[in-house]
Amino acid sequence: MTRFAVPIAEQIWDMKYRFKDADGKPIDGTVEDSWRRIARALAAVEKDPKKWEDKFYSALEDFKYLPAGRITAGAGTARSVTLFNCFVMGTVPDSMGGIFDMLKEAALTMQQGGGIGYDFSTIRPKGALVKGVAADASGPLSFMDVWDAMCRTIMSAGSRRGAMMATMRCDHPDIEQFITAKSDPARLRMFNMSVLVTDPFMEAVKADGPWELVFDDKVYKTVQARDLWNQIMQSTYDFAEPGVIFIDRINGMNNLNYCETIAATNPCGEQPLPPYGACLLGSINLARLVENAFDKGARMDVEALDDLVATAVRMMDNVVDASRFPLEAQAQEAAAKRRIGLGVTGLADALLMVGLKYGTPEAAAQTEAWMKQIARASYLASVELAREKGAFPLFDKDKYLAAGNMMQMDDDVRAAIAEHGIRNALLTSIAPTGTISLYAGNVSSGIEPVFAYAYTRKVLQKDGSRTEEEVVDYAVKMYRDKFGADAELPDYFVNAQTLEPLAHVRMQAAAQKWIDSSISKTINCPEDIDFETFKDVYMEAYETGCKGCTTYRPNDVTGSVLSVSESSEKTPSEAPQTATDAEVIYMSEPLDRPAALEGNTYKVKWPDSEHALYITVNDVVIAGHRRPFEVFINSKNMEHFAWTVALTRMISAVFRRGGDVSFVVEELKAVFDPRGGAWMKGKYVPSILAAIGGVLEQHMVAIGFIEGEGMGLKVDPQAEAVAVGERPKGKPCPSCGEYGMKMESGCNSCPSCGYSKCG
C-alpha cells in the first residue's frame, strides 16, 4: 500500500528527496523513512527528542506539512548542505575589491545549495568617475554579467543550478539599461530581475511628474516618471521581466523595520530580506485539511489547522539551530531574528472542495480568513516557544508592537507578545511549491489556481522506451473518486488560463493582508491583452496592497504557457486542433547512420595554442527538420587527442538519442578553466570546452534547431498544438525534454519531472 496518490509523486520523491548513498543506493527505503529521518533530525535540538520526533512525524505524514525541498532532501543526511532555501547577500560595496569579495561569498553560498538575491543599486552608474585611476565606471550591469558567468559554473546541492535575483532602485541612473537588459536573449540568463519601485515614484507616475535619477546625491538625469513606468511595463509585456517590487510597502509593513532596511529579495520574491538574511520555507497543505469535500457541509478543519501550524512553526524554528550556513554572517543574522516563512499549498484545490470559484470575491474572502487563521496560529505558537526557549535576540517589545504587520494583529495576540515576547520575528510567506506540490499528489501550487486538471506525461523506462501516464489534479481526482470518472465537473472549476488577470490580483491581495513577508505568484495574462489593460494589472496590485507583481504573457519571446482542454472532464471548452506531428522525437534506440549526412566544419583557434581545432557537426533530417547527429573534432595538437575523441563520442551518443539535446551547449559553455579563459570575438570564453559549446550553439541556430544564442529549442508552430486531454504545450524542459514548461509563482517549472528553474 503506497502513500503516494499518483505515480509522479513517488518518482519526484525518488529523484529529489529520497536519501541515497554516494553510489545511488537508497538509504530511505520508503517515504515513511524519509519522514522519520526529517522528524528525527529536527527533534534532535529538543530537550525531549522522542516526544517531538513523533509529533513532527505526524505533521509530515500523508503530506500535511511540506518542508521546503532542501529540508526534505537534506535534514538528517549529515551532508554539508544548508537547509535554508536562499539568501540575500551583503550590501555590495562600490569598490572593485568589495565587489569581488561579494562575488566570492555568492559562489560559496551557491555551492552549498542556496539561491541568492542582490541589490545592485549600490554600484555607481556607468560612466561615473572612478577616482584614483582616471577611469570611468563600467556600471552595475557589467558586474551582473560577472555574477551570471559565476552562476553558470556552480552546480548547487542536488545537482540544480543556482537561482539569482537582481534588484535595482527606480531612481538609479542605470535603471533604463537594467529594465531592458534581458531583451538580449543571451544575457543574464541566470538572473530573475525586479525593479524596486518606491511610493514617491508611483505618485509621480500617477501625476505624470518628473523623476530624478540619482547616485550619491548627484542627479544624473531627469525623466518623466510615467515614461520610465511605461518602459518597465513594455519590457515586462514583451519579455516577462523585470518584475516589480513595491519596496516602501515592504519596509513599512516589516515587523523589524526598527532594526533593518530591506533592498532585495530571494530569487522568487516571496522573502524580502536584509543583508545576509536567509529564507526558511515550508507549506501547510490545505487540500489535506478539508472535511467532507464537495458536500454541502465541506469545511476547513480549523482545529487541525491550528495544531498543524503550531507543530510546523516549532519544526521550522528548530531548523535555525540544526542547519549549516555557507557564511558566518548568515548564521548570525538567522540566529538574531529567527525569521521563518510558513506558507500554504493546495489553496485552489481546497477552495474547489468547499465549492468556491477561485478568483471570485467569495473565494478571496475565504482565502483571507484562512490566511488570518494561519497567521494567528503561527504567532501564538511562536509566543509559546518564546515562553519556553526565549524571544529572538533583537526583540524590543515596544518597537516590535508598533511596527509593520503587528499594527493590524488581533489584540489577544498583541497582548500575548507583550507579556511573553515572540520567538520568530516574521513567520509567514508563500513560496513557489511546484515540486513539493507534485510530491504531495499534484495539489495546486501555492496560492495559484489549478493550472491543468489533467495532462499526459511521458515516462522514460529503463530500456529507453517511453510510456504515457495521466497526471490528474488532486481535487479533480477526489471528485472523480467520489462521483464517478464520467461525472461532469461543476462550473466553479476554473484554471489559470480562463481567469481574468484582475482575479489573480484579487487573490494575491487577499492573501497578502495576513502574510508578513511576501508572496510568490504569477498573474497569467492572455497573449492578446492590450498594453493599457496590462498596465492596469500592476496599478491594481499597487492600490490593493500587494508587495510586488509578476505577470506572464505568452508570446513569441516568452513561449507558450501550458494549454490543455478540459473537455476530458466534460466541461465546455474550445479544444485546440490535433496536430499529426505534435510529438517531440524521442528515440529508444540510436538511429542508424545514413550513408551521407549534411554538415559544417568550424575552425577554433584558441589563444596560446599552436594548432587550431576543426569541429565538424553533421545533421540528420527527420520529418523535414535538421537536427544534430554527430560531432568530430580534429587537431594536430596531440595533447588534445584523447579528450577530443572521448568528447566527440559522448556528444554524438547524446545527439543520436534525440529529444532536446540543446542542454549539451549549456553544459559545455559553463565549463570554467582555472588557468583562465580567453577573449574571442569580443566575448570572454571561460575555457576551450566552452568555445566548443559556442560552436555547437552557433550550428544549432544556423540549422534552426534552437531559437537563438542562449535560447531553447525551436518549435514548429504546427507542432505545438495538442490533442484534447493530451500533453500540454509549452517550452521544452531542460531536464527531461518534455514540452510543457509552465510559469507559476514567478518560476518556470516542469510538471512532468518536477524540474524548477528556481531550484
Q: What is the secondary structure of 646-693 as a DSSP string?
A: HHHHHHHHHHTTBS--THHHHHHHT---TT--EEETTEEES-HHHHHH
Dist. CA 428–CA 371, nearest whole Å: 9
Measure the CA angle with vertex 435, ends 429 and 440; round to 5°. 90
Rounded Cα–Cα distance for residues 321 and 700 (Å): 49
Cα 242 to Cα 508: distance, rounded to the nearest angstrom: 19
Task: Count the Cβ atoms, other than its own, within 10 Å of residue 575.
Answer: 15
Query: Is 758 considered catalytic here?
Result: no
> What amino acid is encoded at 700 in this protein?
M
Q: How far apart are CA 669 and CA 688, in angstroms?
A: 9
Q: Which of 85, 192, 254, 266 is catalytic?
A: 266
Between strands 65-67 and 281-285, the pairing is antiparallel
Work out the angle between the directed axes of helices 361-389 and 302-322 (0-180°, nearest 10).
50
Q: How many Cα atoms within 13 Å fall on the side-chain side of residue 653?
A: 6
Four-point Cα dihedral 65, 66, 70, 75, nearest 10:
40
SS3 category, 505: helix
Among this protein's residues, is 270 annotated catalytic? yes
The β-bridge relationship of strands 164-169 and 115-119 is parallel
Dihedral sign, CA of 633, 636, 640, 641? positive
Residues 598-636, buried b or exposed e (16+ Cβ, 10 A)? ebeebebebeeeeeebebbbbbbeeeebbbbbbbbbebe
Q: How far apart are CA 200 and CA 249, in angstroms?
A: 11
Rounded alpha-carbon distances, angstroms, from residue 690 to 184, 310, 416: 20, 50, 59
Host H or E run for residue 245:
strand 243-246
For 258, residues 6+ apart whose C-beta sits below 8 A from its C-beta are: 396, 399, 400, 402, 403
- CB distance 3 to 29 below 8 Å: no
Partners of 559 in beta bridges = 555
The rounded distance, in Å, linking the Cα atoms of 50 and 42 is 11
| 311: three-class secondary structure by DSSP | helix
Neighbours of 131 (CB within 10 A): 7
Greatest extent of the chain over all pairs of C-alpha atoms, in Å: 84
Distance CA 393, CA 323 (A): 18
CB 188 within 8 Å of CB 286:
no
Catalytic residue among 270, 540, 566, 720: 270
CB 570 within 8 A of CB 486: yes
User: How many C-beta atoms lie closer than 10 Å to residue 694's C-beta?
Assistant: 20
- Provide the residue type at 76 as one letter: G
Q: Is 147 helix (H, G, I), strand (E, B) or coil?
A: helix
Active site (annotated) includes residue 667: no
In the set 151, 170, 268, 525, the catalytic residue is: 268
SS3 297: coil
Through-space distance between the first and last CA atoms of the chain, rounded to whole angstroms = 31
Give ∠ CA 29-435-165 in degrees, rounded to 5: 130
Give strand pairing partners of 457: 469
Catalytic residues: 266, 268, 270
